[in-house]
Amino acid sequence: MTNEMIADFVIAEHPPSANWPRERLLEWIDWFRRDGRCAVLSKKDSIVGVAFARLLSDSQKPENHYDTDPTSRTAYIDLVVGESRLLRPMLAMLRRRFPTVRRLRFAREKRGGKTRTYNLDRFERALDG
């Protein structure tokens, strides 16, 4: 999958992304992909989901799109779009790429965009039902 294909999918599934200049969106996607922080779920050569994550310390603000702390044990989920079954591959990617991660942090739209932090093991168990 190319960055252009991923950008088209992200814009289609997450309309606020269309507000970014395309060149900036492509650079942002490339930044995540170069360091293995992007999970892409596909079905028959079509993208059905994309997730982006990076490590942030508790003091770093997620609004600074290129901040990262390679020593952190907290993964910030920047964006997940597409099928809900993308969560499993995203968590597997996090575990492979960042084996020391113990917490997930993300903004919940249902909570007014407030950032919350969750224990990774508990989060995975909750997905299992």
Q: How does pLDDT run across 41-53, given as a tens digit for each residue?
A: 888 889 999 989 9
Phi/psi for 15 (5° steps) reads: -50, -35
pTM value? 0.85
The neighbouring-strand residues paired with 105 are 76, 117
* Two tokens, residue 81: 């779009």
Where in the sequence is the domain holding 35, given as residue range(s)? 3-128
The neighbouring-strand residues paired with 115 are 107
The neighbouring-strand residues paired with 6 are none
CB 73 within 8 A of CB 102: yes
CATH (domain of 27): 3.40.630.30
Q: How many helices (H) and strands (E) does the chain have?
A: 4, 5
SS3 (DSSP) at 68: coil
Q: How does pLDDT run across 17-70, given as a tens digit for each residue?
A: 999 999 999 999 999 999 888 988 888 889 999 989 999 887 878 888 788 888
Closest CA relative to residue 85, chosen from 122, 38, 48: 48
Number of folded domains in the chain?
A: 1
* Two tokens, residue 52: 């982006």
